[in-house]
Amino acid sequence: MGLQNSKTLYLDAIKNNYAIGAFNFVNLETLSAILDAANELKSPVIVQCSTSAIKYAGIKEIYAMVQAKMTNIPVILNLDHGKTFEDCKNAIDNGFTNVMIDASSLPFEENIALTKQVVEYAHAHNVTVEAELGVLAGVEDEISASNDEAKYTNPVQAKEFVERTGVDSLAIAIGTSHGIYKFNGEAKLRFDILSKIEKLLPNFPFVLHGASSIPQDKVKLAEKYGAKLKGANGIPETMLFEAATKHNIVKVNVDSDLRISFTAGVREILALKPETVDMREYLKNGKKYVNEVVKEKIEKVFNSANKAK
């Protein structure tokens, strides 16, 4: 089964009450861990790269790795947080099947104009587009915003934005946050805002960014072997399950969980076997923990196991 764009998969997710995990990768090990888990559980999956990951690994190399690992499950290759038209065009021209244009920090009219430009080019190449409205707090990769800048998505603006841009899915701000330190206090997602948006845009696909849950067992494992992650916390998985199964959240981004898990695996081997210089040994252990996290998300959080068609 070849790479797919998001259109049919997102409609199926809405119809059958599940979300598709969108997992970031930067190398062959993380990509393999993600795709192996999705293939084992027969789940559709989104593998995605930020612009900084593309700079690190190379866009042609990324596409070749994904193609080499393709199996019989539906896979979307997504650009995560493209900031410019050129970012998105580069991904489209190099085989990505979905792109995210993130102009959420721009004024509303400028966001619309840039998103519409990307949509027109993407649709001409059978590629679907995700955009963002509202600004998430936190820091991850090249994405940053202070808590003061965090702003919930306005439901009325969301409807206008979708209608004027023709975008295929919309990332909304309802309380999630980028990075591994998401909350000072209790986590809270604004399902009331989400419900208002869904009422104005029925059966439309929505996306959650900054939705890692920061698994505490992996945090403790990483800390045991020297990592300094005190206070790392994330979105409770019960909230993510509710978003995936009771609302039209069809895509949930996961990045920090994978970073922590991979780091824990590498640190563990280097601490337990300080004599090793075999990169395969510690990279394999990092891959193992990423695979565990992806499988848990698919089975227990996103409800997407056995949904591959």
- Active-site residue set: 80
CA distances from 130 to 58, 117, 189, 238 (A): 22, 13, 21, 25
Distance CA 261, CA 264 (A): 5
**Cβ atoms 180, 256 nearer than 8 A:** yes
Q: What angle do CA 18, 21, 26 make, to 5 degrees?
A: 175
Strand partners, 170: 131, 206
Residues 6+ apart with CB under 8 A from 218: 257, 260, 261, 264, 289, 293
Q: What angle do CA 180, 32, 223 make, to 5 degrees?
A: 35
